[in-house]
Amino acid sequence: MGAQHLISGRRKWDKVWIAFDVDKSSAFARKALADRITQLKTRGKNVPTVIEQVEELPWAVCSIRSINMVDAFERAEYAITKELGLYSIVTSRKKEQLSSLAERPINTMLLAPHMTVHNPSGTISNNIFWYNRWDLYLNQPGRTQDEITRIRGKFDRLRRKIRRLPWRDKAEQVLIRYYNAFAHFDLEKSFLDGCKLLEFIEGDEGTKGDTLIKRAAFLSSNPTLSKEIGMHLRHRRNLISHGRSINDASNETLAFQMKSFVGPLLETFLTNPFSFQKGKDLWDFCDLPVDKTERDKQAKLLATAQKFRDR
């Protein structure tokens, strides 16, 4: 959903190739489609009705060598989730609220509900499928050709930067976690997984919450305000963790606040604009004082120490 006319060509993540422009007249596609239709018919009442209405959507076909069917699905899912995570980061940057009161995820692109594994001939490998939640009202957002061209340019630039990162492996895991966090239909889960995303990006098990908040806030345009928001989000997370219920309106607000709060950190982590060679260099940078006077004082001390040791 949301990818029509936007994602095209072939992409490679790890050793998985993803083809977004699938020729549905090919022998593979004809056999795969026939087997999927047969699968749905034999499942009868056990199939969500919405699946029968999405076969017209564009396909994404992943090519992979694997040890078994489950391994093939999991590795393909990780690969395509990285791709959709990349697109979701760009297309949801300015989104701050849902367009209606209906329960829906923040991401404008979602994995399709009907996912199957096939042999190279197109024959379905087993009569099972993986289902992702999908609702009838989820329609693709309309985009002009100029918008599509501009968005594709942003995607390509961000993808190239991620490929060159010293911490590329972790960055690719961030793409998966970002997609999964904001693909929930339950916005409380989006908020909580957004908190986990923050922890995964900039810390380890020993990093305290105050440090995580300060680092994320340091990269925002208004660190003082951002830090206050971060403290508020942590407080609400703690309330939820201790069983305090939150109403649906607050869940939406919290989910979007968390997305906005982690945004500057996410962009810096994935683009490395300061050309750091290690993740620790980035965190040391974020741990510097926000106050200019304090930074000047620290810079003077370092310069004096260097001059002293270089004598």
Rounded to whole angstroms, the Cα distance separating 14 from 50 reads 32
Rounded to whole angstroms, the Cα distance separating 260 from 257 reads 5
pLDDT of residue 147: 86
Mean pLDDT of the chain: 87
Sheet holding 16-19, edge to edge: 10-13, 16-19, 61-63
pTM over 0.85: yes
CB of 16 within 8 A of CB of 64? yes
| Single-letter amino acid code for the residue at 293 | T
| Single-letter amino acid code for the residue at 170 | K
Rounded to whole angstroms, the Cα distance separating 258 from 90 reads 16
Rounded to whole angstroms, the Cα distance separating 294 from 296 reads 5
For 203-254, what is each residue's pLDDT tens digit?
Answer: 776 788 899 999 999 999 999 999 999 999 999 999 998 877 666 668 888 9
Q: Is the pLDDT of residue 58 over 80?
A: no
Distance in angstroms between the alpha carbons of the first and the last residue of the chain: 64
Query: Exposed e or buried b for every residue in 76-92, given b needs 16+ CB within 10 A?
Result: bbbbbbbbbbbbbbebb
Instruction: Give just the sign of the alpha carbon dihedral 72, 73, 74, 77.
Output: positive
CA distances from 47 to 41, 50, 133, 165, 256 (A): 9, 8, 12, 42, 33
For 81-130, what is each residue's pLDDT tens digit?
Answer: 999 999 999 887 655 655 555 578 888 888 888 899 999 999 999 888 99
For 70-94, what is each residue's pLDDT tens digit?
Answer: 999 999 999 999 999 999 998 876 5
Greatest Cα pair distance, the chain, in angstroms, is 83
Copy the structure tokens of residue 181. 């966090």
Collect contacts of 296-304 with beta carbons under 8 A, ≥24 apart.
Answer: none
Rounded to whole angstroms, the Cα distance separating 84 from 179 reads 7
